[in-house]
Amino acid sequence: MLTLILTNHEVVLITLSDAVNSVQYSDVLLIQNLIFTSDSLKQTESWLPICLTGISDAGYLQMYCNFFEPNFGVIFITESQENSYFMRFCNQSREIYEVIYSENFFLFTSLN
């Protein structure tokens, strides 16, 4: 699994699970391009298939995308096709947002 936190067109955090040894810079750019060129991905929670051979040999992955603020989003990418991951990622993204917001890590009103 791969986790990204994005803000204002920048990658703030990348974490990799044990199953993912590395991530290619080009794959991160593809993810950013997909998200920031699609207004709908920044307005609602999304669960969509994505193909990134740099992360998975098979290339077929699922991407969960949730933007809490116009320029602050949490992205999870997994090889699992199980629908239960959507709710798991939904809960995890909310927990991440609550910690970041409560600790004032970002001034959300200034992210334009």
The secondary structure of residue 104, as a DSSP letter, is: T
Q: What local confidence, expressed as pLDDT, does residue 60 receive? A: 83
Element (H, E) at 64: strand 60-69
Over residues 23-52, mean pLDDT: 86
Question: For the chain, which residues make up each domain, given as ranges?
Answer: 2-110
Could you give the CA distance from residue 91 to residue 104 in angstroms, rounded to a whole number? 20
Q: String of b and e for 39-69 (b: at least 16 CB within 10 Å)?
A: eebbeeebeeebebeebbeeeebbbbbbbbe
Pairing of strands 46-51, 10-16: unpaired
Over residues 56-68, mean pLDDT: 85
Domain 2-110, CATH: 3.30.450
Q: Which of 85, 69, 99 is nearest to 17 (CA)?
A: 85
Is residue 112 very low, low, confident or very high in pLDDT (cuts 50, 70, 90)? very low
Over residues 55-74, mean pLDDT: 84
Please write the tens of the pLDDT for every residue from 36-45. 888 888 888 9
Is residue 57 very low, low, confident or very high in pLDDT (cuts 50, 70, 90)? confident
Q: Is the pLDDT of residue 107 over 70?
A: no
